Amino acid sequence: MPVCLIITPHMATWNELFSDERFIESLPQPEVYKFVRKLEGIFPDRPLILWDLCCGAGRHTVLLSQMHHLVYGSDIAQNGINHTQKWLDGNGLKAELKVADMTVNPYYGIHFHGVLCWDALHHNTREKITKSVAHVYDNLVRGGLFMVTLLSIKGGAYGQGCEIEQNTFVKNDGFEAGVPHHYFDERDLRDLFKAWKFVILAEQVYSYLETEPDFHLTNPFPYTKWNVIVQK
């Protein structure tokens, strides 16, 4: 497969995506709730200090605040942060929010019991993903946990678009045109977290045998991914 770079005339930014209700998830993942309960069983501290990295429109930031913990959220999209703040305010909840790229540490000096990043970290090159993971490690307390989902090379979209580096592809059309997607095999994933202890490493594989055009816009089912919990 040739390595190439495509620059599209117009790339949808995350800001634009989060201004469209079709791309805003309203319900939190049950896995996130269980992750927080796991942290509560590890640490006696109350409230826990938690970071929703790449919080998007805020569904998990709101959940963590509803669970009565001290919550921090960050995302590159101002519209996502605005939506999260409005959601929090409407429910009488609080969280510290910042606009920040995943490669930047917006909370230097704050030590978290847990960090989560749901369906977002793979939207970058391998080098930048590594940088983000290093920031998480630096900010966790000893024994703290990081829960993250990442794309697998077994996913149906693997290989779609232009390969800008090994296992990183950029689509040239659709709502994610211009957005990099890095796909992991097990070796690559273990290398990414070589400084960590694995608590859970699970590959969830789904094969879509028949679909309608643009089915992903209303698809109720999961996609193939790695589900990871690691400990500092």
Average pLDDT per block of 10 residues along the chain, 232 residues long: 43 61 79 98 96 96 98 94 96 97 95 97 96 98 98 95 95 80 98 98 95 86 96 98
Between CA 130 and CA 115 the distance in angstroms is 15
Helix boundaries (H) for 67-183: 78-90, 126-139
188 in a domain, yes or no?
Answer: yes
Number of structural domains (the chain) is 1
58 in a domain, yes or no?
Answer: no
User: What's the pLDDT score for residue 41?
Assistant: 97
3 in a domain, yes or no?
Answer: no
User: What's the pLDDT score for residue 3?
Assistant: 46
H or E stretch including 197?
strand 197-204
User: What's the pLDDT score for residue 23?
Assistant: 65
Q: What is the CATH number of the domain that holds 227?
A: 3.40.50.150
pTM of the predicted protein model: 0.91
Distances (CA, A) of 59 to 48, 55, 97, 130: 18, 8, 13, 25
181 in a domain, yes or no?
Answer: yes
SS3 151: strand
User: What's the pLDDT score for residue 24?
Assistant: 65
180 in a domain, yes or no?
Answer: yes
User: What's the pLDDT score for residue 142?
Assistant: 97
Between CA 170 and CA 177 the distance in angstroms is 7
79 in a domain, yes or no?
Answer: no
Q: Which domain holds residue 105?
A: 101-231
131 in a domain, yes or no?
Answer: yes
Contact yes or no for 152/182 (Cβ under 8 A)? no
User: What's the pLDDT score for residue 58?
Assistant: 94
122 in a domain, yes or no?
Answer: yes
Contact yes or no for 226/205 (Cβ under 8 A)? no
For the chain, how are helix, strand and coil distributed in percent, rounded to 5? 30, 25, 45
Cross-strand bridge partners of residue 115 = 51, 146
Contact yes or no for 39/113 (Cβ under 8 A)? yes
